[in-house]
Every structure is written in C-alpha cells, then in structure tokens.
C-alpha cells in the first residue's frame, strides 16, 4: 500500500506489475543517461572559450545526432510493445469478476457462481476500527485466490469510472453501456488497495477498492459460506 513515505511505485503483487516496474527502471536509466550527456554538453558550451566562426554546418554530426536518438527510441519502444501485448493477453481465466461503478461505490458479481453479488462502500471514519485504514477500507472486500488467472469485466451504471489497483498493475475504465475486460494474477497473499482513477463527481475520492488475496482452499470456503 502507498504511504506518505512512498516516492516510487508500490511493491508488485503480480507478474505484470513486475514487468511494468522493470520497464520503468529501464526507461528511467536511459533518460538519466540522456540528461547527464545533454547537461555535460551544455556546460561545456557555456564554459568553452573557443569558437569556430567559419563553421556553417556539419553533415557528419547531424547524421550522428539523427541516428543515435532513433536507436535509443528502439530500445524503449520494443520492450514497451512487448509489455503492451502481455497486458492484453488473457489465458483461460479460472474466475471471472464483474465490477460495476456507481456514484459512489462499487458493486461486484462473481459470474461463475449463482447469486454471489454485493455492493462495496467505503467505511466512514467514525465507524473505523483500530486495524482499519481511513478512506481505504470497505465494508465488503473482494476475495480472490492467489496464483490463479482472474478476468475482470468493468462497466459503469452512471458516469465513467476507473477501476485501479496499483500493486497489481491494473487500471481499466468503467464506461456506461460498454464492457471492458482485462486479466491479472496475484502471486502473494495480502490486502491490495485501489481507488477510482477517473474524476466521477463529488465523492470520487470516497469509493476505494480492496482485494483480499487468499490461498485457493480459503477462497473455496469463503465461496461456500457466502452462497449458503
């Protein structure tokens, strides 16, 4: 979970988020190298007292500073395209979860099970317990099994919302009249928090998302107790 001291990305809880973090670090390294090089050249130009007043053009250097950025862009674009296709790939999901955005709460349906749907509201500050998180905890958490492919279908009942869980690398718009889908795999147990990431009205900041990741046998027990 992000705290006030977090200046970077959250710790990953899915393989896709791990790849996103690797790509972020890879791109940042390239950007830092470019920044240092350009800064060094600028400082050299500022403090260099020698000039060539007869130099009008330099075809060789112009070719070099055209080709080099193109090569650098390839080193950024190829991993980015690979990751883009990985994020869209859905391989035989075990469970399908449907999420519907409302002003201002989320409702969920476990499409593979009969009569398993519920609304998820943020817990008001005056009702929080000592182990709850202010503005992040909800009355009904999403319970999902770890190490399982999960497909999520997202839509909205009124305005555009965005279902986002940073630790899983998931951010998908909920659009009225349209069904968007993506997938993720949670590779460790725990609580993972998210929020609506599309400004959807007065209480936009007060419709959090909480995923509780548990082993498969605990998930089956939860499903059985909830349905019965």
The whole-number average pLDDT for the span 179-201 is: 91
- Mean pLDDT for 67-78 is 93
What is the pLDDT confidence band of residue 54, given thresholds at 50, 70 and 90? confident
For residues 78-102, give the mean pLDDT: 89
Task: For residue 100, give the H/E element and its range.
Answer: strand 95-102
- Range of lowest pLDDT (48-52, 80-84, 138-142, 213-217): 48-52
- 115 falls in which pLDDT band (50, 70, 90)? confident
pLDDT surpassing 70 at residue 158:
yes
* CB 190 within 8 Å of CB 143: no
CA 158 to chain centre: 23
Q: How many CB atoms lie within 10 A of CB 130?
A: 4
Q: Which CATH class is domain 15-88?
A: mainly alpha
Q: How far apart are CA 122 and CA 137, in angstroms?
A: 6
Cβ burial, residue 169 (10 Å; 0-12/13-18/19+): buried
Mean pLDDT, all residues of the chain: 89
Q: In the CATH hierarchy, which top-level class contains the domain 95-227?
A: mainly beta
Break the chain into its structural domains and give their ranges: 15-88, 95-227
Give the pLDDT mean for 118-127.
Answer: 90
pLDDT confidence band for 130 (50 / 70 / 90): confident
Q: What is the pLDDT of residue 19?
A: 92
Pairing label, strands 142-145, 149-156: unpaired
Q: What is the per-residue pLDDT for 116?
A: 86
Per-residue pLDDT at 1: 63
Q: Does residue 92 have a pLDDT over 90?
A: no
**How high is the pLDDT of residue 170?**
92
- Supply the pLDDT for residue 228: 66
pLDDT digits (tens, 9 = 90+) for 1-25: 677 777 788 888 999 999 999 999 9
Share of the chain above pLDDT 70, in %: 99
Q: How confident is the model at residue 113 (pLDDT cuts 50, 70, 90)?
A: confident
Residue 32 has pLDDT above 80, yes or no: yes
For the chain, state the CA radius of gyration. Answer: 24
The reported pTM is 0.83
d(CA 144, CA 105): 19
């Amino acid at each position: 979970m992000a705290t006030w001291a977090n200046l970077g990305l959250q710790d990953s809880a899915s393989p896709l988020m791990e790849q996103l973090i690797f790509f972020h670090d890879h791109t940042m390294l390239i950007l830092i190298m470019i920044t240092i090089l350009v800064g060094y050249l600028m400082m050299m130009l500022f403090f260099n007292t020698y000039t060539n007043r007869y130099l009008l053009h330099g075809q060789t250097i112009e070719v070099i500073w055209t080709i080099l950025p193109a090569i650098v862009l390839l080193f950024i674009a190829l991993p980015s395209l690979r990751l883009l296709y990985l994020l869209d790939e859905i391989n035989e999901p075990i469970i399908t979860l449907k999420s519907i955005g409302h002003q201002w709460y989320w409702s969920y349906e476990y499409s593979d099970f009969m009569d398993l749907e519920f609304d998820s509201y943020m817990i008001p500050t005056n009702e929080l317990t000592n182990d709850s998180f202010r503005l992040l905890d909800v009355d009904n958490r999403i319970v999902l099994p770890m190490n399982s492919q999960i497909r999520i279908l997202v839509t909205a009942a009124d305005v555009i919302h965005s279902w986002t869980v940073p630790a899983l690398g998931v951010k998908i718009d909920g659009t009225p009249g349209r069904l968007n889908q993506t997938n993720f795999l949670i590779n460790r147990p725990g609580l993972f928090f998210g929020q609506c990431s599309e400004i959807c009205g007065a209480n936009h900041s007060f419709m959090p998302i909480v995923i509780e990741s548990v082993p498969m046998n605990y998930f089956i027990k939860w499903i059985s107790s909830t349905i019965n």
